[in-house]
Structure 1
């Protein structure tokens, strides 16, 4: 990889990372507004929005891990995963 993970990351990872920051930040701001105005519905909605931001962050981490593994395989640092074996049933004839 290059100097930082951000420089070497895929476009999908960058979109997920920035998207999760924006969504989580929106949820935090809505939670603060709901707490100051004593609006429980807004606060609970904000918690759901923050949860969506966290889930998108987790998905971004999975994408980043996948990209890092693909880079290591392309550089010859690790072996590629072996393909999964297909179980043969008695009905299969070849």
Structure 2
């Protein structure tokens, strides 16, 4: 089986990455819950607010991925300069 030292992005990610990732996931989750409430209660403003939260959550999540890739590039650059 060989090498079992598997690391996850969470293990190697910076504090900023972790915070952005969790914030994005929370915004998406709240947005989904609001979308369900808005649909069941037939309240269009709640549904639009939910859509906004989901969109904001996706933007924050993508920002977290950009931070993750930036950090990985820095780690790789530092590793190759040794």
Same fold (TM over 0.5): yes
Please identify the structure whose Cα radius of gyration is greater.
1
* Distance of 2:40 and 2:13 partners within structure 1: 39
Alignment-derived partner of residue 49 in structure 1 = 53
Q: Gaps (5+ residues) in structure 2?
A: 1-5
Q: Gaps (5+ residues) in structure 1?
A: 78-94
Alignment-derived partner of residue 17 in structure 2 = 13
TM-score (structure 2 length as normaliser): 0.89
Runs of 4+ in 1 over 2 A off after TM superposition: none
Question: Per the alignment, in what secondary structure is the counterpart of residue 80 of structure 2?
Answer: coil
RMSD: 1.2
Paired residue total: 76
TM-score (structure 1 length as normaliser): 0.78
The partner residue of 2:74 within 70, 75, 83 is 70
Cα deviations by residue, 1:34-62 (Å, 9 ceiling, x for unpaired): 00000001001100010000000110111
Cα deviations by residue, 1:58-81 (Å, 9 ceiling, x for unpaired): 10111001000000011007xxxx
Alignment-derived partner of residue 30 in structure 1 = 34
